[in-house]
Amino acid sequence: MSKKSRQIFSLAVYGLLAAGILWQVCAIIFSRAEFSNANTHMVSVYGEVDRPGRYRVPVGTTDFEILRVAGMRPVSDISAFNLVSQVAPNETLTVGTRAVPLGEKKASATAKFEFSLGEVSIIARDGRNQAIADGMSLIEGDRIITDAKGQAEASVNGYSRIDVDNFSEVSFEKIGAVEENKNVVEMLQKSGTCWYKMSYSSPGELFRVMTPLVRVTVAGQGSDFMMEVKYEEINLHTIDGLVLVERLQGQEAINLIAGQTATIFADGRPFQVKTLAPDISPNDKFSALIKEKTSYMLRGQPFNFVFFGIPGAYYVVNVQYEKGVVNIVSLPAKTSVEEYVEGASTLDQALLQGGPVFASTLVERIMDTRIPKYCLLDKESLVRAAGVLGGVTVDVDKKASGALKTAAGSQKLANENLIKFMAPGVSGWDEAQQRQELVLRAIYERMVTKSIVVTSVVAAQLVAAMETNIAANDAVAEYQKFASTRNWSLRMHRLPVVPIQSGHTMIQQPLVDQARKLLIVE
């Protein structure tokens, strides 16, 4: 097979990984009658929407779909609607108005251990030596200590980075402490060299670095600086931005701007400020860490994406190349997001009002992992994708066989029969989800065995059918990694939740501590 042919094949199959699975995911809510243009009725939508009025819709249209067409506003109140329910003939939907517009609540401050090279230790405040894992959360009092050949990287609030050189020690003394209406993250650099790339994402943040001699406060929009802490002196090199340097004992203080170096002496001499030397290069000092991290990310960084099947079938897919594991986590439509959002209570409400980008950021916070890609399918996209795959072979149970008017047992289902097989109208939501998982496994097996073959034209049609930020070159690169790994295993999960009362509705509160363990592979 030529290189061009391999790329075409890779794009096509990866497109099916994205579109095919999502087709299965969102298909569970539809039945054959819903696709018939002959069966329609009138529905009215009024209130806090962009396009109020009367609509002629197919039988089986859900509240989610008609409200999406009517157009949501930031203050639209859709809390009274069951978004996956079907609208009735001549029904009137009246959308209320919220006092608080849709928006993400400010996240609490976070610190994480991102990556390491060589001998590195993390010591808790009580002296316990902690097991190290990339992406692990750090809490107040945790210390990062590096050995002779060790280097490490930590992050703050997702946007800022701290690289720790060998023979260095830095601890996190405050994470989200409130001081003068600001959430403070304060680090203590006791010894060695650290490179700080600090960026403010909101006016309510404040970053500080304490040392034995001075307090360094990140000013402006952020700062990029490297600091060397020795017993007799401290050297602070500002590469970009602005920092305020204040001596702990005495009144001496300066604002250090980009391109300057300050030397602070332990004997109390005034700060010595000079132009940044040309040979001061954090990139050179941390080149081994940067190279290894880049190599790791290209080689084995998990690929995470979330599928939104309108109106209520949502999945996180986590592909771990180094371990040959695919995790698929089902998220209830009524997953509570009240901890993270103003103006919406559940994940389906957040998706309807804020769109897939907004909703994916909430899924990131629930799962505590970066999810950079998303796909969203509606009914029209679903029908096109279903036709492309050509069918999958599954075991049809007796209840489904009656609805499909076919024999029970192993059957190849395609198009509307496959959709109907997974529809909740057959025997309820729980059994529909079990059938859906059978189809997901069947699709997965076809991906692993490379038994799905399509043309580049078909792949392009699949990508065009979706609302997605997955680009063609991303698809090719990711599938090449997928295809080069052998002995894949599939793990299916359902988000751990507990039902809670929210107003007059029961919603599903995610058990985040348990949820964040689902993607861990020992």
Instruction: Check residue 456 and give its pLDDT.
Output: 61
Q: What is the pLDDT of residue 413?
A: 75
Ordered DSSP codes for 93-140: EEEEE-SS-SEEPPPPP-EEEEEEESSEEEE-TTSPEEPP-TTEE--T
Name residue, tokens 């650290």.
Answer: 194
* Predicted local confidence at residue 34, as pLDDT: 39
Q: Is the pTM of this model over 0.85?
A: no
Stretches where the chain sits below pLDDT 50 are: 1-37, 453-454
| pLDDT score, position 392 | 73
Residues 6+ apart with CB under 8 A from 517: none
Write the pLDDT tens digit of every residue in 28-85. 333 333 334 457 889 999 999 999 999 999 887 889 999 999 999 999 999 999 998 8
Report pLDDT digits (tens) over 171-206.
999 999 999 889 999 999 999 999 999 999 888 899
- SS3 labels along 201-250: CCCCEEEEEECCCEEEEEEEEEEEEEEEECCCEEEEEEEEEEEEEEECCC
Model confidence pLDDT, tens digit, residues 84-127: 888 999 999 999 999 989 988 877 788 999 999 999 999 999 99
The pLDDT score that the predictor gives to residue 486 is 79
Residue 375's pLDDT is 86
pLDDT for res 94: 96
Q: What is the pLDDT of residue 485?
A: 76
**What's residue 449's pLDDT?**
60
Rounded CA separation 130/461 (Å): 49
**Cβ 511 vs Cβ 496: under 8 Å:** yes
456 sits in which H/E element: helix 456-465
Q: Which two tokens stand for residue 45?
A: 């939508």
For 480, residues 6+ apart whose C-beta sits below 8 A from its C-beta are 10
As to burial, measured by CB atoms within 10 angstroms (0-12 exposed, 13-18 middle, 19+ buried), residue 182 is middle
Residue 268 φ then ψ, to 5° = 95, 0
- For the record, the structure tokens of 472 come out as 């063609």
**What is the residue whose two structure tokens read 């004997």?**
267
CA-closest candidate to residue 219, choices 209, 233, 227, 234: 209
**Long-range contact set of residues 467-472: C-beta below 8 Å, sequence gap at least 24:** 467/356, 467/375, 467/376, 467/377, 468/18, 468/373, 468/374, 468/375, 468/376, 469/357, 469/372, 469/373, 469/374, 470/18, 470/305, 470/373, 470/375, 472/11
CA dihedral 13, 14, 16, 21 (to 10 degrees): 140
